Amino acid sequence: MNIREIREQIEFLDSIPAIPPVVKKLLKFVDSPTLSMHEVSDIIAKDQALTAKLLKVVNSPIYGFPGRISSVSQALILLGLNVVKGLLLSVSVVEIMEETMVGLWEHSLATAIAAKALASKKGQGEPEEVMISALLHDIGKVALKVRFPGPYKSALLMSENEGFFIRESEERVFSVGHAEAGSWLSRKWNFPISLIEPIAYHHRPTLARSAPLQTAIVHISDILVRARGIGFAGERFVPAVHQKTWETLAFSGQDIKEVLRVVDETIEEIEGGIVA
């Protein structure tokens, strides 16, 4: 199967049953200029189970609004449409993430917490958007696993048995890695470039042109969480931080200690997950 055929299969991920119809509808129509925030709220609210999951997430310790958000419309006002759209997608694919590899959701969640903390330290204007891109940075792994379960299992075994990073194993099996697969999917889902680039380039942050800071933050957050040993991203060893990216962001040792403390405390408070 060539890369074009793989891409065509990846871009149809929204057809899998795990993604609720309301999320599919939003991914398709949410950028319509005629769709109001009120209409978006009404669409989401019609799915009671999804609404409950969304409210559970936004009232968790991650966002700093514990027990204060009681409706979808309030979440939209406080967090913005892009963040809520990403959250809806995230809570929809949690189970698939865990089926892809045990520990992937925990890794993604901890990366998101770290990214938000680092973005706040850099004065990033939309730390919640950076958080969502971090939460979804490995969505390409889910896409490859769902569409090609047998070959993806081979990639995981190759990584485990031969000591490759998972992205290297993916490229040997598919000729593309999860970052590229995730970029195809996020573009298909009409995500803004500020979310697409961190997903596409979290292993090669210097390639980002429109969202270099967000991408750099997700890159470092991913590696910090791997080094901390939270969750599982496909291999047991830790990749190196891109040197130029590290120098550009110029985080101090104290910054990193504080961020890791936030991650540890938040994960402990969440007690293993935000979605039942």
Please, which residues have CB within 8 angstroms of residue 156's CB and are 6 or more apart in sequence?
A: 101, 166, 169, 234
Please, which residues have CB within 8 angstroms of residue 88's CB and are 6 or more apart in sequence?
A: 22, 23, 26, 44, 50, 54
pLDDT digits (tens, 9 = 90+) for 32-73: 667 788 888 988 888 888 898 889 888 888 877 777 889 999
* DSSP SS3 for 121: helix
Question: To the nearest 10°, the Cα dihedral for 17, 6, 242, 256?
Answer: 0
- Quick one: 81 and 106 in the same domain? no
- Quick one: 81 and 110 in the same domain? no
For residues 165 and 105, what is the distance between their CA atoms, to the nearest angstrom?
18
- Quick one: 223 and 129 in the same domain? yes
pLDDT value at residue 273:
46
Residue 243 sits in which domain range?
93-270
- Quick one: 62 and 98 in the same domain? no
pLDDT digits (tens, 9 = 90+) for 2-12: 899 999 999 88
Residue 11 covered by a domain: no
- Which of 58, 92, 90 minimizes the C-alpha distance to 77? 58
For residues 91 and 49, what is the distance between their CA atoms, to the nearest angstrom?
11
Q: How many residues does the chain have?
A: 276
pLDDT value at residue 213:
96
- Quick one: 128 and 257 in the same domain? yes
* DSSP SS3 for 238: coil
The parts of the chain modelled with pLDDT lower than 70 are: 14-18, 29-33, 271-276
Whether 191 and 82 have beta carbons less than 8 Å apart is answered as yes
Residue 276 covered by a domain: no
Whether 84 and 110 have beta carbons less than 8 Å apart is answered as no
- Quick one: 99 and 218 in the same domain? yes
Residue 137 covered by a domain: yes
Q: CATH number for the domain including 264?
A: 1.10.3210.10
- DSSP annotation of 240: P
Residue 63 covered by a domain: yes
Residue 10 covered by a domain: no
- Could you give the number of structural domains in the chain? 2
pLDDT value at residue 276:
42
Q: How far is CA 207 from CA 182, 197, 200, 219, 235, in A?
A: 15, 9, 9, 12, 24
- Which of 105, 101, 129, 107 minimizes the C-alpha distance to 116? 129
